[in-house]
Amino acid sequence: MICLLPKGVPDLDVSPMGHVVKDPFTLETNISGIFVGGDASYSPRSVVKAVAFGKDAAISIDRYLKGEDIKAGRFQKWNSIEFEPQNVKLADRQQMQRLSIAERRNSFKEIDSGFSEQQAKLEAGRCFRIYGTQGQGSGIRE
């Protein structure tokens, strides 16, 4: 994370999950002229989303520095649901069985055996985010 805040700046508003609170369209924080994007404003996502947030923040910063209205013409591109689990016990990842190094030598056997049905269900139960299918009307979250 790159932080360009001078010393003595009041604390930013932070969500219970530790993400900086910001305007969802302009990415401006509770402090005028301070913008945020990427993992600091949302939990880790894809590189594509990080670049998109960077572009949106850059547009806001450019408008701010030019004295223009940073909200003019800004709108939410799609309906998404932000879900930050609170008071949720995080489950450990399931570990796949792997062939030992000795068994891999001079062998064409599959190294990762995959999950059992039970392990697959436990691993799927850890997922809180459904990328690409969280739009309104998908039926997934409704």
Q: Running along the chain, 142 residues long, what does each successive block of 10 average in pLDDT?
A: 56 78 87 80 71 85 93 70 66 87 88 90 72 42 38
Q: What angle do CA 7, 12, 18 make, to 5 degrees?
A: 120
**Cβ 9 vs Cβ 31: under 8 Å:** yes
**Cut 0.75: pTM above it:** no
In a domain, residue 62? The reply is yes
Q: Residue 135 has what pLDDT?
A: 41
Q: Can you give the CATH number for the domain in which 50 is found?
A: 3.50.50.60
In a domain, residue 140? The reply is no
Q: Residue 80 has what pLDDT?
A: 61
Q: Residue 79 has what pLDDT?
A: 61
Q: Which domain holds residue 29?
A: 1-78
**DSSP state, 92?**
P
Question: The dihedral of CA 112, 118, 123, 127: what is its sign?
Answer: positive
Dist. CA 40–CA 82, nearest whole Å? 14
Q: What angle do CA 16, 7, 71 make, to 5 degrees?
A: 60
In a domain, residue 23? The reply is yes
Total structural domains within the chain: 1
